[in-house]
């Protein structure tokens, strides 16, 4: 297990255990809140650190499991390719880009001021990198279990996220955060390629 992927997996599981313990107001202070709102019970609302901290919180065990399975599956090869230091920068750039995209789109579209949690933004950035650098590797969809080339898998997921986000189906999921994570990953990859040419 490469060190950064292992550390991210461990940190996400540990924070979820703290959430389950319920002794700390983690969502109130560390979830991503829209800037024009305040948190529940007079909480702090939006703070700058939430652009990163939200990615360590999860809404349910299933939410955590899907994100960590994807991070484990794709993150190991991407970290070995990029090197641990640059992979860490890449992951958190995707996380921040996901948060900013979500805030911009939800601010423009309106809606209830709900907190956002989950590592999906970083995971979608990693997924994009996997599709770019390992395009012919076979990836198995879970539902239904269909094997696809990684490149097709990534394009399919991006198209679905765009469709769900625009149409408002599968509400309660931050679809534009997922796309923002991919955008952040793509910008980082472009920056890396420019420095190498």
- Model pLDDT for residues 89-121, shown as the tens digit of each residue: 999 999 999 999 999 988 887 766 788 999 999
pTM of the model: 0.91
Tens-place pLDDT, residues 122-174: 999 999 999 999 999 998 877 778 889 999 999 998 998 888 888 777 667 88
pLDDT at residue 122 in the model: 97
Q: Where are the domains of the chain?
A: 3-196
| CATH class as words, domain 3-196 | mainly alpha
The 3 state secondary structure assigned to the chain is: CCHHHHHHHHHHHHHHHHHHHCCCCHHHHHCECCCCCCCHHHCCCCCCCHHHHHHHCCCCHHHHHHHHHHHHHHHHHHHHHHCHHHHHHHHHHHHHHHHHHHHHHHHHHCCCCCCECCCHHHHHHHHHHHHHHCCCCEEECCCCCCEEEHHHHHHHHHHHHHHHHHHCCCCCCCHHHHHHHHHHHHHHHHHHHHHHC
Convert the pLDDT of each residue in 52-95 to its tens digit.
Answer: 999 999 999 999 999 999 999 999 999 999 999 999 999 999 99
> How confident is the model over 25-61, as pLDDT tens digits?
888 889 999 886 655 544 467 889 999 999 999 999 9
Predicted local confidence at residue 60, as pLDDT: 93
């Amino acid at each position: 297990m490469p060190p950064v992927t292992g550390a991210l997996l461990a940190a996400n599981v540990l924070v979820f255990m703290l959430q389950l313990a319920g002794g700390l107001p983690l969502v109130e202070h560390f979830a991503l809140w829209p800037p024009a709102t305040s948190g529940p019970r007079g909480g702090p609302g939006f703070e700058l650190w939430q652009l990163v901290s939200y990615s360590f919180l999860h809404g349910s065990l299933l939410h955590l499991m899907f994100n960590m399975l994807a991070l484990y599956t794709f993150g190991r090869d991407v970290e070995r390719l990029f090197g641990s230091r640059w992979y860490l920068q890449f992951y958190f750039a995707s996380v921040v880009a996901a948060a900013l995209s979500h805030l911009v789109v939800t601010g423009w579209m309106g809606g209830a001021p709900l907190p956002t949690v989950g590592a999906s933004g970083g995971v979608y950035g990693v997924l994009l990198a996997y599709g770019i650098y390992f395009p012919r590797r076979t990836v198995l969809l879970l539902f239904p279990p269909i094997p696809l080339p990684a490149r097709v898998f990534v394009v399919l997921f991006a198209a679905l996220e765009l469709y769900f986000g625009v149409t408002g189906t599968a509400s309660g999921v931050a679809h534009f955060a997922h796309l923002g994570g991919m955008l952040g990953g793509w910008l980082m990859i472009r920056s890396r390629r420019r420095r190498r040419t």
